[in-house]
Each structure stands twice: as C-alpha cells, then as structure tokens.
Amino acid sequence: MPHTLAKSRRICEPLTCSIFEPGFQPDPDSSSASMANVTRRASIATTLRAAGCVFAEDEARLLVDAARHPDELRHMVDQRLSGLPLEHIVGWADFCGKRMTVRPGVFVPRRRTEFLVRQAAMIAKPGAVVVDLCCGSGAIGAALNDLLGSCELHASDIDSAAVQCARRNVEPRGGQVHQGDLYEALPKTLRGKVDVLLANAPYVPTSSIGMMPPEARLHEPRVALDGGADGLEVQRRVALGAAEWLAPGGFLMVETSGQQAPETAGVMVESGLLADVVSDEDMGATIVVGSDRETGGSISF
C-alpha cells in the first residue's frame, strides 16, 4: 500500500551507511552550511537509491530537514535503510495539504484516502457532527475539519498508540479522541446525531497480509490492516451499527478497494442502507457511501 511522503517505493534493504563527516557542526545560517546540506542530501540520496528507494532525492531532503544534528541524521538514515516508513521517521505525513503527526506503530494515512475526505467535504456542512472511526492518526477527521472550516469532530480507535497520536491532530482542532472498539468508544449522546460517519476500517483479507509491502506489514499495527477472512469483517460491524448513530439524512462513508466495492456495498444494503460506489481511477481510490433508506437517497458528486 503506497505511503504519502514518497508515494510508492520499494523497501530499503539494510545497508552500512558511512556518508557523514565526523564532527560536522554547521552554522545553519551560513552559505557553507547550505552547500554542505546540498552535498549531504546528494550523498544520502545515492545511498537510499542503492537501497531501493525510488524517490531517494525527496526522502534525502526530508531527512536532512528533519534532523536537528548530525548524529540524529545518521540515526534517521539508518532507520530508513532498515525499512522503517519515512513518515514514522520524520514524524509527519502530508495529507490533504497539511502536515499530520504520525508516530511509529501507527497506520500511515495514504494519499488515496484524501478522496474519502474530499467526497465527505462535498456532503457535510460547516458545523456538522463528524465521527472518524478506526481513526489511526486522526488525519481523516482532522483534514475534513480543515476543509469545512469547523465541525464537531469525534475520532476513535481501539489502539492506544493510535489514540495518543490522533490527539495530536484532532484536539488542536477542537475535536475529541476516544479509545475503544468502534461505537463502544463513542459518547452515547452522539446516538442519532452523526451527520457524517467516516470509516477507513481495515479491509485487507487475512491471507493477503503477507503480500503487503514490508513497510506496512512489519511497521504498522496488524489491527489497522487485517479485515478478516474476506476483508469485510470490520466493515460489517461498522455498517450494522451505523443506523443507530446516524442523524436523519446522515451518511456512512467507507474506504474499500475497487475489487471489494460490490461486497462492501452489499454489506451496507444488508444493514438497511442505500449504497453508492464512488471511485477515482487516477488516485486508485474507491469509497462506498451509505444513506438511510427513509431520509437518504442516491448521492450526486
């Protein structure tokens, strides 16, 4: 699954790195320091490219910019060469044009998921009650809040590391982050009041986890990836509980794969919702939008 800062790339295999000059202490304001950084970025890019990083120049620039001193830069490059996702190393991901905090052990928001956010922004109104289930870093809800200008934002995740990370992105925007299993985490006062329910629930079939890129398979939490035997287990639970939480005219919006979209739509229909599949081939993104049969209807984007 592609990541955000460097798009898609091969994993960097472990290598011995010796690209730093011992004792280098640049003056950050000097022209010589600028030249040194250019040289350093070029050296790091060469090493990363040899390790299989497709966007080595971009990664080198980000690492140099993020490091506060040479020892930290050396450590960060070694981490990247060992296969740690770039976003986990620099501490952020570019998502919907904003830097979202990302921490090791937390799912990295994908570029394609921006499609879910932008479609939600076409439905929701400023001040809407928004819930971001399986929130991971909280980037989805935070980005939607920014696009709307404001909303009543609630995010939840079962994983404690994700909850701590999400608070860094959600709380500065006035939102709340809750820990627990899907709807169990949410305040009961939200029942029947949610205008937009977002869920990037895990949808990779268990048997396919082993075929995922090592960056995801080895460094992101299994709970954020594994959707059960058919990839739909968590989506079923989300769809089954949605009607209790949605406001009249509210929408459930779920990311899925193009291949699984008919099944995801079927899950929503079985749960009593109308379902519309919306895709963007350029982004490789597919979502299914569910609406109440009585107050909802087909979606026009």
**What is the reported pLDDT for 54?**
86
Q: Which amino acid is at 132?
A: D
- Taking only the tens place, the pLDDT of each residue in 183-206 is 999 999 999 999 999 999 999 999
92-292 carries CATH number 3.40.50.150:
yes
**Which residues have CB under 8 Å from 104's CB, separation 6+?**
84, 88, 219
The stretch 126-139 carries a mean pLDDT of 98
Cα 114 to Cα 110: distance, rounded to the nearest angstrom: 7
Using pLDDT thresholds of 50, 70 and 90, give the confidence band for residue 158: very high
pLDDT at 52: 85
What string of DSSP letters covers 286-298?
EEEEEEETTT---
Alpha-carbon gap, residue 88 to 150, rounded angstroms: 28
pTM for the model stands at 0.84
How many CB atoms sit inside 10 A of residue 21's CB?
Answer: 11
Q: What is the pLDDT of residue 295?
A: 59
Is residue 176 pLDDT above 80, yes or no?
Answer: yes
3-state helix, strand, coil in the chain (%, to 5): 45, 20, 40
In whole angstroms, what is the distance from residue 241 CA to residue 243 CA? 6
Tell me the pLDDT tens digit for each residue of 14-30.
Answer: 333 333 333 334 445 54
pLDDT of residue 2: 39
Q: Please list the residue range(s) of the chain that carry CATH number 3.40.50.150.
A: 92-292
d(CA 286, CA 284): 7
Write the burial class of residue 29 (CB in 10 Å: 0-12 exposed, 13-18 middle, 19+ buried). Answer: exposed
Q: Which residues contact 20 (CB under 8 A, 6 or more apart)?
A: 40, 70, 73, 74
Mean pLDDT within 165-189: 98
User: What does the mean pLDDT of the chain come to?
Assistant: 88
DSSP H helical ranges for the chain: 31-50, 56-66, 70-81, 86-90, 114-123, 139-148, 160-170, 214-219, 233-245, 261-270
| Helices and strands in the chain, H and E counts | 10, 9
247-274: per-residue pLDDT in tens? Answer: 999 999 999 999 999 999 999 999 999 9
Contact status, residue 130 vs residue 251, Cβ threshold 8 Å: no
